[in-house]
Structure 1
Amino acid sequence: MVDSAITVSDLSKSYRIQVAGEHVDRITTAVINRIRHPLTRTHFEDFEALRDMSFEIPWGEAVGIVGRNGAGKSTLLKLLTRITAPTGGIIDLGGRVGSLLEVGTGFSGELTGRENIYQNGALLGMGRKEIKRRFDEIVDFSGVEKFLDVPVKRYSSGMYVRLAFSVAAHLDTEILAIDEVLAVGDAEFQAKSLAKMRDVARDGRTVLYVSHQMNTVTALCTSAMFLDKGTLGYYGTVDGAIKHYRDTFEKFQLEQLDAHKRPGSGQLRLSRVAVTEQTQEPDDDKVIEFTVGRNVDVVGKYFVSAHITDVNGAVVVQCDSRLTGQWFDPSDEQSGVLRIKNLWLKPGRYTVDVFVCQSGVFDAWEGADVIEVIEHSPYPELTTDDALAHGMVLADFEFEAR
């Protein structure tokens, strides 16, 4: 076995993207545009998803990969698992890689769960005897024994991810790469999966874990790297990586004021997002005002989804207008208000992310505004701090003796 699990030198990845010419998603529109503007040429430029990245990961490390959307986390994992090829640089892998990058990656929907286990093992270069030796462990861990001979296209997303994770974690690969798919499973399975990944690292194998959830990175990982716009901003302790992640928020928030720099098609854009009271008590209503521009060329109504995110990047709550039957007309400028009741946030700093969507995303404004919740208990009795130590939010509750 080589000294390091993964050695990366001057790694880069570029994509060729369209930067001029009107984006169309229907052939009729493309034909009309060509008739109206026959001399218009489409121009392209290279987008650097990763730039000059170098690092070395020893055996037995559980490495968290953190960063904001678009930082290059998933791209890096796809390069390390050889799903896509680098534009430049060298990747030296010390062993076989088992990966779970998206729900169902590597699974064939028409095959049964049993057949997919053997197929995945074969793709990793394992013999049938080697797979059979681990088969019972895989099935027992996944909890899908009753559906083992059912085509996986009939599985729920939870069953899919349980079996896919179990295959990736139990087959004898030296490196395990996971891209934040555990959020699909239930809380019990997430806890079991984190424990399994810790065991994998203790056995001398190497774990790579991409996540927005800093609490799971802290619970699982022994080291972490912070990616910022395709570059390696930090590689070291977990606390150090999380600190770099938090320190970039103000810069990121300023950049997001420019709508052209935000993700989304741009057919509709938010022009304003504001929390009416930035400094709040834990039990205050959270009131968020927003304005969306108009575009008469957009066909069909759209919805708005707002997330409240904690300082570690975990989404505390999602408020989606579809759930209340509220849709918005793109032919008029829309001003709206979101009022969140009975959400008792624990003291700390929270950000508001707002998304304008239809079948795809028109605008994604992360870090649009901030809520600062002050240190004050909403409960009538005073007690020690450990009474409030656990959980992501506070609750409006009562105990009764009967």
Structure 2
Amino acid sequence: MSDDRIAIRISHLSKQYTLGGPQEPYHTFRDAIINSLKVPLKVFNKAPPVEGFWALKDVSFDVEQGEVVGIIGRNGAGKSTLLKILSRITSPTEGTVELHGRVGSLLEVGTGFHPELTGRENIYLSGSILGMKRKEIDAKLDEIVKFSEIEKFLDTPVKRYSSGMYVRLAFAVAAHLEPEILLVDEVLAVGDAAFQKKCLGKMSDVAKEGRTVLFVSHQMGSIAQLCKTAILLENGKISQRGPVSEVIAGYMNQLGQGSMNFEAPTMGDRDIAIIRAVVMDDAGNPTATFTHMQSITIAITCRINKWIRGAEIRIAVRDSRRNVFTTDTGIVVDTNCMPEIIVAKAVIPGNLLRPETYFLTLAIFIPNQLVIDRIDDAISITVIDGGSKYAASAGLDYGCVFVDCFWTIEPAINR
């Protein structure tokens, strides 16, 4: 990577916080005199040991100009700490950060604005901090106000703003004052669905203009939609970096949501018994988490002690509200065959299941006659939005399934 193309360079970055230790208070001159008299007594009052916690440990990566990078990971992985260091809100314990360009940041609600100043005054203050001249800020003011939709409250102190109003103005300021580097944390989750969609569109526009974006979010659909590459943090360290789809898959496997397999405790004496089942992704890797675009393969292993004509294997897929759809297949029966173990595979195609948690019930039965074996909720899986057109609308009810209908649009016939 050419150095003249680097927007962000992070080398061996670490941040340690103190857990449970005493914080250094502010001292007056009088306190200093009193404390000096207490020094001999401190020998007998030893402070308890202080425990350190590494929020980030030896993190290194480069980001090129114009690159849009998603930062993902579990809560406590170090994502927000990383952005705070890049925003100069906190300093690193070890390592270095190089930033080539002005930085605009949108972190948690409550940072970045002075609560006693009005929205208008905070816009000019933010621009001044970025090194902009008043004329430059004047030229952007109307655009910022229009985007934030807070025109009526522009001259009201921001301490009186709702969290939604605060976020709208903060994002508008961060995105429109033309920073070369834009840092955005999960704070967008505070806004409504329409504003989230507008923010994602603006970040996409910023990227197309050649500016650099670091985007932290737990909404994998938004990450997939906006970013081409991503970084996965785990316990303060980089566990994966690469194409966004691969990193999201790694994150989903890290989550380990659901139970991706079933093992029967005993073989039993049934004529046909389900002894094992597993769910897999397109590459045949066992997993319990899928994007909505991925196909889901369910492999069911059955022990056949006696071949039974007319027997079928059924999978019932239920969502968290217990709505259900089923799929089944007949077992190819050869009454002359010896007992054996078979594996039946069913593939649920991608772009069918909406983002949800699903529970798979497995059964072997003869329709309208006999249930031979049944395991309720044998496996649970989670489907997340992998970048659909609905990804920007957090909390949207997707309906039961994604249906790719065939549409035609024709001119109306005048009558």
Q: TM-score with structure 2 length normalisation?
A: 0.58
Flag the 1:310–1:156 CA change in 2: closer, same or farther, 3 A.
Answer: farther
Does the alignment pair 1:394 with 2:399? yes
What is the aligned counterpart of 2:118 among 112, 136, 142? 112
Q: Which runs of 5+ in 2 are unaligned?
A: 23-43, 260-276, 278-287, 292-318, 325-352, 360-376, 402-415
Match of 2:103 in 1: 97
How far off is 1:217 after superposition? 0.4
Q: Distance in 2 between matches of 1:348 and 1:73?
A: 24
Question: Does 2:15 match 1:13?
Answer: yes
**Structure-1 separation of matches of 2:111 and 2:358:** 32
Task: Show the counterpart of 1:188.
Answer: 194
Cα-to-partner distance string for 1:244-296 (whole Å, 9 max, x where unaligned): 1112124999xxxxxxxxxxxxxxxxxxxxxxxxx9xxxxxxxxxxxxxxxxx
Distance 2:169 2:379 in 1: 39
Q: Which of 140, 152, 155 is matched with 1:149 structurally? A: 155
Distance 1:167 1:61, change over 3 A: same
Residue 162 of structure 1: aligned partner: 168
Correspondence 1:57 to 2:67: no
Partner SS for 1:135: helix
Amino acid at match of 1:82: R
Shift of residue 19, structure 1, vs aligned partner: 7.8
Q: Are 2:105 and 2:183, in contact at CA under 8 Å, matched by a contact in 1?
A: yes
| Residue of structure 2 aligned with 1:128, choices 129, 134, 148 | 134
1:350 aligns with 2:357: yes
Identical residues among aligned pairs (%): 53
Distance 1:2 1:135, change over 3 A: farther
The one-letter code matched in structure 2 to 1:88 is: E
Amino acid at match of 1:171: L
1-side partners of 2:12 and 2:118: how far apart?
Answer: 41
Change (3 A) 1:10 1:252: farther
> By how many angstroms is 1:114 displaced?
0.8
Task: Please list the CA deviations of residues 98-145 of structure 1 after superposition, one character each: whole Å capped at 9, or x if unmatched.
Answer: 001012421122211111111111122222111111111111111111
Q: Deviations over 1:357-382 (max 9, x none)?
A: xxxxxxxxxxxx9972699xxxxxxx
Alpha-carbon distance in 1 for matches of 2:201, 2:257: 35
Quick check: 1:311–1:349 contact (8 Å CA) kept in 2? no
Deviation at 1:311, TM superposition (A): 5.8
| In 2: Cα distance, 1:252 partner to 1:54 partner | 32
Give, in whole Å, the separation in 2 of the partners of 1:350 and 1:152: 40
Question: Within 2, Cα distance between the matches of 1:46 and 1:84?
Answer: 16
**Partner of residue 372, structure 1:** 380
Aligned pair partner of 1:235 in 241, 248, 261 = 241
Asked whether the equivalents of residues 59 and 237 of structure 2 are also in contact (C-alpha less than 8 Å), the reply is: yes
Give 3-state SS (helix, strand or coil) of 1:85's partner.
coil
* CA distance 1:171–1:87, shift in 2 (3 Å): same
Distance 1:142 1:372, change over 3 A: same
Moved more, 57-66 or 7-16: 7-16
Change (3 A) 1:347 1:121: closer
1:213–1:96 distance in 2 versus 1, CA, 3 Å: same
Aligned-partner residue type, residue 78 of structure 1: K
In the alignment, structure 1 segments of 5+ residues that lack a partner are 21-37, 254-278, 280-308, 313-339, 353-368, 376-385, 397-402
Can you list the C-alpha shifts for 1:11-38, whole angstroms capped at 9, x where unaligned?
A: 1111122389xxxxxxxxxxxxxxxxx9
User: After superposition, what is the alpha-carbon deviation per residue over 1:185-213, rounded to whole angstroms, capped at 9, x for unaligned?
Assistant: 11111111100000101111101111111
* Greater than 4 Å deviation, 4+ residue runs: 38-41, 309-312, 340-349, 389-393
Helix, strand or coil: the match of 1:181? helix
Q: Number of residue pairs matched?
A: 271
SS at 1:172 equivalent: coil
Which amino acid is the alignment partner of residue 14 of structure 2? S
RMSD over aligned Cα atoms: 3.7
1:40 positional shift: 7.8
